[in-house]
């Protein structure tokens, strides 16, 4: 579980831990990971500081996970960043672009690759990867070139991994989330820039509803797969956006 120290990652981690899963909690800061672990039975949680954009951190994360739990049955590829908000594409620095790409796309690839290797080699073979996409994997918000590009790319990665994993019992799906109430989306309730230039408050939904959806995807038998799931606040301006 990457990005497990807050928001969607924390909610999903707690949902799985309380359901009896053993979960490796990954993130860039140890303290939030330990706070997540404290919300559920600690014996089933392993906190590992890892920056998913660094191959050596990802290798260490999966080594620690297999050392503790013996195998990898599920990866929730959740770590991500919006990048600088409200910055027009002509003003977006290359460093800011790279940071978003390295976290959202390269990090997801590195973790999926590491999970894939273990799922292919372990006995019994197989496992499941769930990528955290976004509504922006379908339709962008204004001034979100880096975030939107990575989320569109993540959809392609999901499809490719799903196809390549078939012979080895590796199921790969994606959840696209719209306006789950977390610290990262707090601004939605006060006002979000719309395609017509207006700033409008948007409805949000309980992040626990996302967590339950991920749990449902995770607990399917490997013979079944939710390829894509879209979970969003019912009244958010997505259908008809723009």
Q: What is the mean pLDDT of residues 181-208?
A: 82
SS3 197: coil
Q: What is 7-232's CATH number?
A: 3.40.50.720
Question: Using 50, 70 and 90 to split pLDDT, how confident is the model at 182?
Answer: confident
pLDDT at position 146 is 96
Instruction: Write a three-state SS string for 216-239.
Output: HHHCCCCCCCCCEEEEECCCCCCC
Decide if pLDDT at 73 tops 80. yes
Give residue limits of the domains in the chain.
7-232
Question: Using 50, 70 and 90 to split pLDDT, how confident is the model at 183?
Answer: confident
Residue in 37, 39, 38, 206 with CA at minimum distance from that of residue 48:
37
Q: Which of 180-194, 195-209, 222-236 has the lowest mean pLDDT?
A: 180-194
Decide if pLDDT at 242 tops 70. no
pLDDT digits (tens, 9 = 90+) for 93-137: 999 999 999 999 999 999 999 999 999 999 999 999 999 999 999
d(CA 3, CA 98): 18
pLDDT at position 196 is 83
Distance in Å from the first CA to the final CA of the chain: 34
pLDDT at position 241 is 60
Decide if pLDDT at 188 tops 80. no
Count of beta carbons in the 10 Å neighbourhood of residue 46 = 20
Decide if pLDDT at 187 tops 90. no
Q: Residues with catalytic annotation? A: 147
Decide if pLDDT at 166 tops 60. yes
């Amino acid at each position: 579980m990457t990005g497990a120290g807050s928001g969607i990652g924390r909610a999903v981690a707690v949902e799985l831990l309380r359901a009896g899963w053993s979960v490796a909690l990954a993130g860039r800061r140890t303290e939030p990971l330990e706070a997540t672990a404290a919300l559920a039975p600690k014996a089933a949680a392993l906190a590992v500081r890892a920056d998913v954009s660094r191959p050596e951190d990802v290798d260490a994360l999966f080594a620690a996970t297999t050392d503790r739990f013996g195998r990898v049955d599920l990866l929730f590829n959740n770590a991500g960043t919006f990048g600088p908000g409200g910055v027009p594409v002509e003003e977006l620095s290359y460093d800011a672009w790279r940071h978003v790409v390295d976290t959202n796309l390269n990090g997801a690839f590195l973790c999926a690759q590491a999970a894939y290797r273990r799922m292919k080699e372990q006995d019994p073979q197989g496992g499941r990867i769930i990528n955290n996409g976004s509504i922006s994997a379908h339709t962008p918000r204004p001034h979100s070139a880096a975030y939107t590009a990575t989320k569109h790319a993540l959809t392609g990665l999901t499809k490719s991994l799903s196809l390549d994993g078939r012979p080895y019992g590796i199921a790969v799906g994606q959840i696209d989330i719209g306006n789950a109430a977390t610290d990262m989306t707090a601004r939605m309730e006060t006002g979000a820039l719309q395609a017509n230039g207006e700033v409008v408050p948007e409805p949000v939904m309980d992040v626990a509803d996302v967590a339950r959806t991920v749990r449902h995807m995770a607990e399917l038998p490997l013979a079944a797969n939710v390829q894509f799931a879209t979970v969003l606040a019912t009244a958010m301006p997505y259908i008809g956006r723009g």
